[in-house]
Amino acid sequence: MKKPCLALLGLAGAMLCVPATAQNGRSDRDVKTTFQTSREWRPTIDNRADAVMVYGVGGNPSDSEGNRNFEERVRSWRERGYTVHFMTGIAWGEYEDYFTGEWDGRPHLDEGQVERSGDTIWHGHLVPYIVPSDNYLSYLKEQHVKRVIDAGIDAIFMEEPEFWARAGYSEAFKREWRKFYGFDWRPQHESPENTYLANKLKYHLYYNALREVFTYAKEYGRSKGMEVKCYVPTHSLVNYSQWQIVSPEASLASLPCVDGYIAQVWTGTSREPNYYDGRLRERVFETAYLEYGSMESMTAPTGRKMFFLTDPIEDRARDWADYKRNYQATFTAQLLYPNIADYEVMPWPERIYEGLYRTSPDSDRKERIPHHYSTQMQVMINTLNSMPATDTRLSGSAGISVLMANSLMFQRFPTHEGYEDPQLANFYGLALPLLKRGVPVKTVHLENLAYPEALAETKLLLMTYANMKPLEAEAHAHLAEWVRKGGVLVYCGRDDDPFQRVSEWWNQQGNGYAAPSDHLFELLGIGASPAAGEHRCGKGTVCILRADPKEFVLAKGGDAPLIEAVKRLYEGAARGGELVFKNNFRLERGPYDLVAVMDESVNDEPVRLEGRRIDLYDPELPFCRECVIRPGEQGLYLNLDRVKHPRKAQVLAAACRTYDEQHGKRSFAFVAKSPVNTTNVMRILLPEAPKEILVGGKAVAADGCWDEASRTCLLRFENDPDGVAVRIVW
């Protein structure tokens, strides 16, 4: 492959061989951007993130293409300057040697998750979703974790601790039931209590699995003089609850062996339909915003590291225009959390850059990623390499939160006594009426209430026990204390769903409450089973609405009682100021401006931005004096008036990553790297109009790329992962 002309830069040819980590002074702990792949390095997928998570000792079971030896794959990425980490599944993976008996001489296919029909739930050929037995965990430690650490990798990502709600009928699960509860297994479909018990066990099994594997990883790493970091890539609590999957989620954040998470949010999760104003439809931006929020709030009080994931495509086959539209929606949603600034820029670059997908929704013709989309995508992911964390707040009336708990996952399947919660409507019934009116509603996790930070910025808290139950009584003590100190609690619920009566702490061990909320209300001093209305509690207020939240979204206009109560209490008892309703969100984040305009909102007006900006969602990177964002659209812009050092030559936006920048008195030079078969478009700020431009050793017409109004130079050339040398003289 051709090399860039380094003589133009006055650099030694060896410079390009220096790993990017060394060039950027980046240590393993400074990783800001990463991605996952089961493949060895190759020029088509070299997206230039800080790190790569090499997937699976044996590869990815979903990948039909064969994989090279694990150590060879690791070496191939290190040679290209990447920090190398490891990822594999905890609930499924390339573990055929375990299931077929090659590892210990005994087959273990009976450890798969089994549904009521007797069918195993499969992830792939000979790859079942697993009931994580002690023997299976020993296999993971010995055959996978040990080998990874021996390869010198000090960050391990164990993804997707998933137990399907419809599962729980295998002999392996029955054995774990007896061991955990001390009595024989009970079929979960026979009663709400059996369902609740089954899902608590599923939750415990993967909590224990990650604790065991990560504790071993850290201990083995220390024996070799390494400090091993352990992370959990996981879907959001919103998505797992909606997809009827049980996972330990927020409880993991308190484990000392868990260093952080990846929030696995993308088009495939966020396009799951939900109800609002009586309509069931996809609401990708809004759902993504709530998914990212549930992940951010899960770890915020603990200080654990959080990576946000987006995916330029998704698992389901769609067309390129669909992928692009929804990628922008999820990408914008993640950036509206300004305190998160670490990202997984993509999963599986091999399927993004090399896969074939439909050219339009009504055509069967397929092609690789269009150049305009790969250019835009690379501009977006390269923007993440410099995206700052900031204390700037998202526009809108702040301080309203929705309470969540891990037990959201416990009541989703099967249905009992005819009680339905369609598409998680009891959760969306509290969140969407506010979000759709431009209120930046947050989420708070019941499991985190012992942390003072959990409710520190909440003025008004919305909660229900129609879709979840408190696993411990302690949470109510924290809630009651918060209210008495001045918090406003809005409780919505009829408390008549069948899970109110499961045998749990609120009706056991000397307690006799008909519903868990009665315990909370007694602590608040308003007595069990209070009627609808408002109650003063110390310096705070409790408002009870005797309606399940799903009623606010299943019917057109059904949210009126909720909105009236929230507005009155926010502006009154909560002292939050005016509760402003609008159809958009805006955020200034360093030099970047973010805008999302919603449909189904208070009006259909577009947002218009005046000023000097570069449109980062347009692959041509146009300079704009006015930007118009319409309902259902999002925008990401670089604001030229907030660029640091505006008289200094610098790359403002590019579909590549730049290295070896050299600033002369009247010149600027660098090396641009990005995957082969993609086109680089880049906008460069200069002190003066260029007189000479060399790209890859060839002269480019300087007058044809200069824009005087923005004082920027627009370059376009084909990318090369080995680098393209650029030199500009003015």
pLDDT digits (tens, 9 = 90+) for 360-393: 999 999 999 999 999 999 999 999 999 999 999 9
Classify residue 57: in a domain, yes or no: yes
Indicate whether 25 belongs to any domain: no
Q: Is the pLDDT of residue 28 over 70?
A: no
Nearest to 677 by CA among 35, 33, 73, 47: 47
* Domain final position from 520, 541, 571: 571
The angle at the Cα of 212, spanning 206 to 214, to the nearest 5 degrees, equals 100
CA separation for the pair 48, 52 (Å, rounded): 9
Distances (CA, A) of 342 to 48, 301, 345, 384, 593: 15, 17, 9, 8, 18
Same domain, 622 and 680: no
Is 662 found in the same domain as 626? no
Residue 477 and residue 412 in one domain: yes
* 634 shares its domain with 695: no
Tell me, yes or no, whether 456 and 517 share the same domain. yes
Cβ atoms of 611 and 690 within 8 Å: the answer is: no
Per the omega criterion (within 30 degrees of 0), is the bond before 414 cis?
yes
Alpha helices by DSSP H, listed for 88-189, are 96-99, 134-140, 146-150, 171-181
- Map tokens 């109110």 to a residue: 500
Inside any domain, residue 711: yes
Per-residue pLDDT for 16 more than 60?
A: no
Output the pTM of the full model.
0.95
Q: Is 368 buried (19+), middle (13-18) or exposed (0-12) by CB count in 10 A?
A: middle
Q: Are residues 632 and 719 in the same domain?
A: no
User: For position 677, what pLDDT does the model report?
Assistant: 97
- Residue 174 maps to a domain: yes
CATH number for the domain that contains residue 434 = 3.40.50
One domain, residues 721 and 593: no
CA dist 154 and 618 (Å) reads 38
Q: Is the distance from CB of 652 to CB of 643 less than 8 angstroms?
A: yes
Cα separation, 210 vs 200, in Å, equals 16
113/213 same-domain check:
yes
Which residue segment(s) compose the domain that 524 sits in?
A: 400-571
Residue 509: inside a domain: yes
Task: Decide if pLDDT at 582 tops 60.
Answer: yes
> According to the model, what pLDDT value does residue 251 have?
87
pLDDT at site 169: 98
Together in a domain, 636 and 698:
no
- Say what percent of the chain tops pLDDT 90: 92
**Alpha helix positions (H), 86-191:** 96-99, 134-140, 146-150, 171-181
For the chain, percent of residues with pLDDT exceeding 70: 95
CA-closest candidate to residue 122, choices 176, 64, 61: 61
108 versus 63: the higher-pLDDT residue is: 108
**If you average pLDDT over residues 129-136, what whole number do you get?**
98
pLDDT value at position 14? 28
Q: Is residue 356 part of a domain?
A: no
Count of structural domains within the chain: 4
On whether both 473 and 591 belong to a single domain, the answer is: no
Query: What was the pLDDT predicted at 250?
Result: 83
Q: Which pairing describes strands 163-164 and 245-246: parallel, antiparallel, or unpaired?
A: antiparallel
Residue 12 lies in a domain: no
Residues 636 and 657 in one domain: no
| Domain assignment present for 148 | yes
- Please write the tens of the pLDDT for every residue from 228-248: 999 999 999 999 999 999 999
Q: Give mean pLDDT, residues 707-724.
A: 97
Cβ pair 532, 502 in contact under 8 A: no
- Could you tell me if 410 and 537 lie in one domain? yes
For residue 203 the two structure tokens come to: 């939750």
Of 642, 672, 691, the one marking the end of a domain is: 642
b/e sequence 617-636, b meaning 16+ C-beta within 10 Å: bbbebebbeebebebbbbbb
- Which pLDDT belongs to residue 60? 82
